[in-house]
Structure 1
Amino acid sequence: MPPSRIDVHAHFLPSFYQDACREHGHANPDGMPYLPGWSPEEHLELMDKLGISKSILSISSPGTHLVPGKDELARNLSRDVNKYASDLKKRLPDRFGYFASLPMPDVESCLAEIPRAIEEGCDGFVFETNTHGHYLGDKEFDPVFDELNRRHALIFIHPSTPMCPCSPEALAAGQQPVKAAPFAGRLPQPMLEFLFDTARVVSNLFMSGTIKRCPNIKIILPHLGGAFPPLLSRWTGFSSLVPGPWIGVPESEVLEAFKRQIWFDMAGFAFPSQIRGILYGTGVPHSRLMYGSDFPFTRANGVELLMGQMDSGVKELFNEEEIEDLYHRNAEKLLGEK
């Protein structure tokens, strides 16, 4: 009998959120061929079939700030999805938790939403790697990260389509963001670009000093950190050896932060090769790994297929106790359930 799982990378799309996406240009988010349907009943059916005891839900890319400049739309949509998730968790607290959405890059509205979402019972907060070219780690977001650090918050970072310009100065000068995805129109962004944007944000959070300044924030990185493991020595070495406006970050500092405040979900195609990159390339211990399904953007048959690959793969790398840890105990400890 396989161990039960806690799914930290699972999404919800209530009907009003689907309608908002279609109305504002995201009927095929990030170049995907579909905007998936979703319901709590469908989600529970999958969980029961596959032995997922609890799912921590979040809004995926494109998040809740759907149109550049339309802050009111983002505020209202963030409030609506957070209230929906809070009500669902109160109704089924043993099956669902959630990461609250924030209307990034509207900093003042984010600061207003954080205490409301905490009061309603969120388990943490979800951030896209970038919103309209504003990237996590940019100085404009310091007030948000400082507040989350003060509250010892848990955040889940989800990838999105890379955008340019991606400098606060260019955006402030009025340059309009455009997709920085050479294969857009041919390949969906989650196939490649999501993993690259995750690597960008990992480096930006460190080289901006955000991680060092905010040691109380706990961070879940998606898809085993995306493309960052083989690039780690590159940007840490470059930032330390070449003078520039960035903060030099020794590789040892990054590895220490991985053990102190960063976790990784195994959603997507973690096996057979990607997981070896993070285990052997960065030395991340099994205690920082957690299960993720990416449902419903990964459809039910895909979740089942990838789970089978994972169940086979973990047996080659971990003992039975360690498998229990990465399937549910690590998440239980992080979420304060045990």
Structure 2
Amino acid sequence: MALPPRIDVHSHFLPPFYHDALLANGHEKVDGMPAIPEWSLEGHLALMSAANITKSILSISSPGTNLHPNTSPPQVASLTRQCNAYAAHLKRTYPGKIGFWASLPLPDVPAALEEMDRAREEGCDGFVLMTNYHGSYLGDPMFDPIFARLNEIHANVFIHPTAPCMQCSRVPTPALPLGDGYPIPIFEFIFDSARAVINLFFSGTVDRSPNVTFVLPHAGGVLPPLLTRFTAFGALVPESRGIDAKVVRRQLGEQFYFDLAGTVFEGDEGVVGSGQLKALVRGFDISHQRLLYGSDFPFTRHASAMILANAMKDGLDELYEEKERDAIYQGNAEKLLRK
């Protein structure tokens, strides 16, 4: 059977110049994966056709456009500009079919604010932020001007995980206690997403940004089981001014979306829809109106993306009625992109 039509909010592009920049900066095995995935527009359109994706919102994945802590700010700004201009060209060429989350040359805040204006002029659908920039997480006060501007323009912000990192010295230190024997996306990505979001709450960034809409990947990663814990212990964090569990739940239900990229439907063998997503929506009363489709192509290859798309179909058929499924596949994303 044909898959239901869908909008993909979590898909990536790797233009040739970005691929070359990864290689030149020591990312030939990006985030510990075996190799940089091959990407082409033709291949992307082929997946869209096969999975019945009516629109893809493209973004640069980890490690973003700041590829090395010693890269000069002008070089980072230049690569960021190239990537956004490339994505804007694709959107102009395929109107209605391709959109993009624009990258920012962080942690250079003045350059990021300038790039934000350029990308908006080019029609970006929002912005992609890495969970951290060489150890500076999103709730860091240095990023307050960025979130003030994002709040002013009512922006959509897609948060993408990257390698966890600590600022132990002038040279950031990877926070990989199990070493480099495991590709970072397997589990460190999932932890870093939760780390970044908790940091946004504790820092007061979410409170100060009521007009910002956040998209969290992989059904929130390990955030859901930590919700009760970090809200309960919030009073122990002096900088947080106390965390109100009811306020956090309300903000999650009004300002946050969760994409379904990855293995969120994997559960007990033979039990459809019993995995991570069910724990999120049933355990924490997350509405179907906050769920979005994501392929994570090309880091999830074509064949795997199709397997996961079919698993999503079976899982959603089990968990939701037709009207709710239609919203998850398309309606929620349409509402988000009109914001």
Matches within 5 A, 1:245-324: 245-272=239-266, 273-324=275-326
Q: Report what 1:141 is aligned to.
A: 143
Q: CA deviation at 1:281?
A: 2.2
Partner of 1:331: 333
Distance, in Å, in 2 between the alignment partners of 1:318 and 1:2 is 16
Residue equivalent to 1:222: 217
Q: CA deviation at 1:202?
A: 1.1
Cα displacement (A) at 1:119: 0.2
Output the CA distance in 1 between the equivalents of 2:329 and 2:263.
16
Aligned counterparts of 1:110 and 1:279: Cα–Cα separation in 2: 35
| Counterpart position of 2:104 | 102
Map 1:150-299 onto structure 2 (within 5 A): 150-165=152-167, 174-240=169-235, 242=236, 244-272=238-266, 273-299=275-301
From 64, 67, 82, give the equivalent of 2:84.
82
Q: Which amino acid is 2:76 matched to?
A: A
Q: In 2, Cα distance between the equivalents of 1:233 and 1:247?
A: 17
Q: Distance in 1 between matches of 2:117 and 2:199?
A: 26
Please give the secondary structure, in 2, of the residue aligned with 1:43: helix
What is the RMSD computed on CA atoms of the aligned residues? 1.2
| SS at structure 1 position matched to 2:102 | strand
Q: Describe the SS at the equivalent of 2:329.
A: helix
| Partner deviation per Cα, 1:119-157 (whole Å, 9 max, x = no partner) | 011000000000100101111100000011001111100
1:156-178, CA deviations, whole angstroms, 9 ceiling, x for partnerless residues?
Answer: 0000010012xxxx6xxx53211
1:68-111 superposed Cα distances (whole Å, 9 cap, x missing partner): 14211110000000000000000001210000000111111101
Q: Percent identity?
A: 49
Give 3-state SS (helix, strand or coil) of 1:80's partner: helix
Q: Which amino acid aligns with 1:211?
A: V
Which amino acid in structure 1 is aligned with residue 186 of structure 2? M
| 2:38 paired with 1:37 | yes
3-state DSSP of counterpart to 2:8: strand
Q: TM-score scaled to structure 1, two decimals?
A: 0.95
Q: Shift in Å at residue 251 of structure 1?
A: 1.5
Q: Which structure 1 residue ranges, 5 or more long, are not aligned?
A: none
Partner of 2:68: 67
Report what 1:128 is aligned to. Answer: 130
Query: Secondary structure of the equivalent of 1:245?
Result: helix
Code of the aligned partner of 1:275: L
Rounded Cα–Cα distance in structure 1 between residues aligned with 2:142 and 2:181? 33
- 2:70 and 2:247 mapped to 1: Cα distance? 37
Residues 69/247 of structure 1: CA separation in 2 closer, same or farther (3 Å cut): farther
Structure 1 position 243, deviation (Å): 5.2
Say whether the 8 Å CA contact 1:31–1:184 is kept in structure 2: no
Change (3 A) 1:142 1:321: same
Amino acid at match of 1:145: F
Query: Deviation per CA, 1:4-57, whole angstroms, max 9, x where unpaired?
Result: 010000000000000000001111111111111111111001110111111000
Q: Is the 8 A contact 1:225 1:264 kept in 2?
A: yes
Which letter does structure 1 place at the counterpart of 2:301? R
Summarize deviations over 1:254-279 as a string: whole Å, max 9, x none: 11011211111000011031101211
From the superposition, tell whether residues 245 and 73 of structure 1 become closer, same or farther in structure 2 (CA, over 3 Å).
same
Separation of aligned partners in 2, 1:82 and 1:229: 32
Structure-2 change in CA distance of 1:295 and 1:248 (3 Å): same
Gaps of 5+ in 2: 267-274
How many residues are matched? 329
Query: 1: CA distance between counterparts of 2:313 and 2:221?
Result: 21
Contact 1:236 1:251 in 2 (8 A): yes
Cα deviation code 1:233-260 (max 9, x no counterpart)? 11111112x2533332122111101121
